[in-house]
Amino acid sequence: MLDKQTHTLIAQRLNQAEKQREQIRAVSLDYPNITIEDAYAVQREWVNIKIAEGRTLKGHKIGLTSKAMQASSQISEPDYGALLDDMFFHDGGDIPHRPFYRPAY
């Protein structure tokens, strides 16, 4: 398992990529021995960064619940994650496209 400092470094790197809307190299290429436990530790660090930036934790989600999706992702159980306040949109409200759009050059 990676150490806490590395978890924090990876979370900061992912957060910066999100802010700049830039794709980065897959974490698993830089850390080929990364584990599921490491990934969840990085996620916790990322949530802490987001909360420090003013986001609010609103809930949790479960993904990859079907065996077919698990098989396609080479895992054997569902995954889970955090839902922050900026991930929700009101019914009938406008959804800004800018945070989700980055033109390819």
Helix (H) or strand (E) segment spanning residue 80: strand 79-84
pLDDT grade, residue 30 (50/70/90)? very high
Q: What's the mean per-residue pLDDT of the chain?
A: 93
Question: Which own/partner contact pairs does 68-74 have at CB distance under 8 Å and 24+ positions apart?
Answer: none
Across the range 24-35, mean pLDDT stands at 96
pLDDT grade, residue 100 (50/70/90)? confident
Across the range 68-97, mean pLDDT stands at 92
Residue 47 tokens read as 């949530």
Q: Does residue 91 surpass a pLDDT of 90?
A: yes
Cα–Cα distance measured from residue 10 to residue 15, given in angstroms and rounded to the nearest whole number: 9
Q: What local confidence, expressed as pLDDT, does residue 8 receive?
A: 98
Helix (H, G, I), strand (E, B) or coil at 52: helix
Q: What local confidence, expressed as pLDDT, does residue 103 receive?
A: 64
Helix (H, G, I), strand (E, B) or coil at 78: coil
CB neighbours of 15 closer than 8 A, spacing ≥ 6? 46, 49, 50
